[in-house]
Chain A
Amino acid sequence: MKGKVDLITGGAVFLGSLFYMINANSIKVFSGEGATSINSKTIPIIWGSCLMLLSILMISRYFINVYRNRAKNKESQNSDIVIEERFESQKTETVTEKKENYRIKFAVPLTFLLLIAYVALMKEAGFLITTSAYLFLQIVVLSPRGKIRWYSSASLSIVASIVIYEVFVRLLNVPLPAGLLTF
């Protein structure tokens, strides 16, 4: 799996540059006074091609390495077996341990979800509500195993949101979305 990083990255970047180039094609070319042969399409196409080239180089590098390591494959097969054994020797867990396991296992996707929700709801629900909710939930997600402090997290979230809101809206004139709370 470690070696495959090159392949996946190269592939993803290739697709990305392809998408870019396809969209670059529809850029309007200016032909009025002052136009030259270098137009708004030129540079994007150059950048896109370079990136595409780099991704191809990366994919080729992957395959070159694969060929080089063919000889060493037999050794790596043994190490796979060792890893599988470790997973089998797990004990049964309590309910809270299980919940914590899920939380920590899914911490990254949960964080993503929280960020999406925060950003998406901010305009509608307003800064105060979304920030309090986000802070509280994100603190919970990021807490070390077994060390969630519900009360301090909740109170910190609400206090922090209010402080930030007041400082920015009243003091600094930054119009943060008020959303549902009109006052």
Chain B
Amino acid sequence: MKKKLVILLIGSIVLGSLFATGSQESVVTNDNAESWPDKAINIVITSSAGGDGDYLMRLLANPLEKELGVPLVITNMAGGNGSVGMDDMMNKNADGYTFYVNNTCALSANEANGLVDYDYSVSDPVGVFAKHSGEMIWVRADSPYMTMNDLIKATQATPGKLTIGVSMGGSVYAASLMLQKAGAKFSLVDASDGAERIIALLGKQVDCCIAGYGIGKEYIESGDLRPLCTLMGSRSKALPDVPTAEEAGVDGLVINNLFLLLAPKGTNPAIIGKINSAILKITNEDEEYAAATTKYSGQNAYALNVQDTINILDSTRSQFMEISDLLKK
């Protein structure tokens, strides 16, 4: 008799859970904007631990926690160049307590190469909060190329013989396509992620490569590698002598990768405004944060308000969609 009671108890809990209306996370109305935030905020980083976006977000999280007055719970949900995290976001409630970290290039590249069939408008952008350290074009220090012109002329002299290490499908690949469009005659070779591309260059497997500043900067100092240009729109603060790609003569080659925070669609604009102002305030006023950011990425601390963020998203998107058929092939 007693054991039947126990089974009944457990069984009713299970059955109860089956039939009870599965309430999702707390129901939120628009009136909550005033009291927001009143509990911990989740931030999901759509790339893996240890990477650029991950580190820069965690760097921001410290002052942001103090500014907002609630703890920030940071987790990673990596995969598919950010698309796994985006998928999670599209199924989330817009209650203002979960936000996602992504970067402008990944969002546009994924749409342009057909990996996903949506653009950033499936979310409510909150704001750009950091600049990527910047992709650069690298060659070995002992090579004869001192400028981009040297390099491109060399490829034209021996078409198809000089190799450039890229990671196919993403923004680095798009950059190499733009290079080819500008007249270079490289042979594109895949060399996995940024770190691997630098190794491939060091190990003499490729003649040049595109990789982030953060990964290669130690090799400038050690005298092994030389950056010929940066792909960002303006020169890197850490390397003021290295020209941008456009300055170096490659028209149209600008890849400005920015990290931004996204909210599930339908989030209260007042809440978005609150976070955005907090981020802007920290970026403009917190010197410690600014110094740490520059030390890590060689870029200034950088953030945009909501409207500017949307503008950047639009322009990056059109930039990538232009070469969409090349990427989609």
A residues sitting closer than 8 Å to B (CB atoms) are 30-35, 117, 121, 124-126, 129-130, 132-133, 136-137, 148, 150-151, 154, 157, 173, 175, 178-180, 182
What's the Cα separation between A125 and B173 when bound, in Å?
A: 44
Check A133–B13 contact: CB distance below 8 A: yes
B170 → chain A, closest Cβ, in Å?
13
Q: In the complex, are the beta carbons of A182 and B25 less than 8 A apart?
A: yes
> Quick check: B22 and A150 within 8 Å, CB to CB?
no
User: Do residues A175 and B17 form an inter-chain contact, with CB atoms below 8 A?
Assistant: no
CB contact between A32 and one of B73, B75, B326 (< 8 Å): that residue: B326
Among B23, B187, B327, B328, point to the contact of A180 (Cβ < 8 A): B23
Total A-B Cβ pairs within 8 A: 70
Closest Cβ neighbor of B21 among chain A residues? A180
B180 on the interface (CB 8 Å rule)?
yes
B14 close to A129 (CB less than 8 A): yes
Instruction: Tell me if B190 is interfacial: C-beta within 8 Å of chain A.
Output: yes
Which of B2-10, B148-156, B196-204 faces chain A?
B2-10
Whether B177 and A137, one on each chain, are in contact in the complex, defined by CB atoms closer than 8 angstroms, is no
A121 and B75 within 8 A (CB):
no
The smallest beta-carbon distance between A130 and chain B, in angstroms, is 8
Taking a contact as CB atoms under 8 Å apart, the answer to whether A121 and B18 are in contact is yes
Set of chain B residues within 8 Å of A178, measured between Cβ atoms: 25
| In the complex, chain B residues whose CB is within 8 Å of the CB of A180 | 17, 20, 22-23
Q: Can you list 28 A-B pairs with a CB-CB distance of less than 8 A? A: A30-B168, A30-B329, A32-B326, A32-B329, A33-B176, A33-B180, A33-B326, A34-B187, A34-B189, A121-B17, A121-B18, A124-B22, A125-B18, A125-B22, A133-B13, A133-B14, A150-B2, A150-B6, A150-B7, A151-B6, A173-B73, A173-B75, A179-B17, A179-B22, A180-B20, A180-B22, A180-B23, A182-B25
Q: Chain A: which residue is nearest B75 at the CB level?
A: A175
CB distance from A175 to the nearest CB of B (A): 7
Instruction: Across the interface, name the chain A residue whose C-beta is closest to B176.
Output: A33
* Interface membership of chain B positions 212-229, coded 1 if the CB is closer than 8 angstroms to chain A and 0 otherwise: 000000000000000000
User: Is B6 a contact of A154 with CB atoms below 8 Å?
Assistant: yes
Task: For A34, list chain B residues within 8 Å (CB).
Answer: 166, 168, 173, 187-190
A114→B328 CA distance, assembly (Å): 44
Distance of A179 Cα from B23 Cα, bound (Å): 7
Nearest first, the 7 closest Cβ-Cβ pairs linking A and B are A34-B188, A32-B329, A125-B17, A150-B3, A124-B22, A133-B14, A31-B329
Nearest to B114 among chain A residues (CB) is: A28
Asked if B311 is at the interface of the complex by the 8 Å CB criterion, the answer is: no
Taking the closest CB of chain B, its distance from the CB of A125, in whole angstroms, is 4
The chain A residue sitting closest to B42, CB to CB, is A175
> How many residues of chain B are within 8 Å of chain A by beta carbon?
32
Residues of A within 8 A of B180 (CB): 33
- Tell yes or no: B35 within 8 A of A by CB: no
Assembly CA distance A4 to B141 (angstroms): 66
A136 to B189, CA, bound (A): 56
Tell me whether B158 is interfacial, beta carbon within 8 Å.
Answer: no
Give the Cβ gap from A49 to chain B, nearest Cβ, in Å: 25
A interface footprint on B309-329 (CB within 8 Å = 1, 0 otherwise): 000000000000000001111
Interface residues as binary, B171-215 with A (CB distance below 8 Å gives 1, 0 otherwise): 001001100100000011110000000000000000000000000
Question: Apart from A34-B188, A125-B22, A150-B3, what 6 extra A-B contacts exist at CB < 8 Å?
Answer: A121-B18, A130-B17, A133-B10, A151-B6, A175-B42, A180-B17
Query: What residues on B are CB-neighbors of A179 within 8 Å?
Result: 17, 22
* Candidate in B9, B14, B176 with the most chain A CB atoms within 10 angstroms: B14
* A148 to B3 alpha-carbon distance, docked (Å): 10
Nearest opposing residue in chain B for A178, CB measure: B25
Whole-angstrom CA separation of A113 from B176 in the bound complex: 52
CA distance A85 to B109 in the complex (A): 71
Q: For residue B328, which residues in chain A have a CB less than 8 angstroms away from its CB?
A: 32
Could you tell me the distance in whole angstroms from the C-beta of B232 to the nearest C-beta in chain A? Answer: 23
Q: In whole angstroms, how far apart are the Cα atoms of A3 and B168 in the complex?
A: 50
Shortest Cβ distance from A154 into B: residue: B6
- In the docked arrangement, what's the CA distance between A150 and B5, Å? 10
Q: Which of A34, A124, A126, A148 has the most CB of B within 10 A?
A: A34
Q: Inside 8 A of A150's CB, which chain B residues have their CB? A: 2-3, 6-7
Complex CA gap A180/B10 in Å reads 15
Is B29 engaged at the interface, CB distance under 8 Å to the other chain? no
CB distance from A118 to the nearest CB of B (A): 10
Contacts of B26 in A (CB 8 A): 182
B3 to chain A, nearest CB (A): 4
Minimum C-beta distance from A102 to chain B (A)? 15
Q: Contact at A154–B190, with CB atoms within 8 Å?
A: no
In the bound complex, CA of A125 to CA of B176 (Å): 49
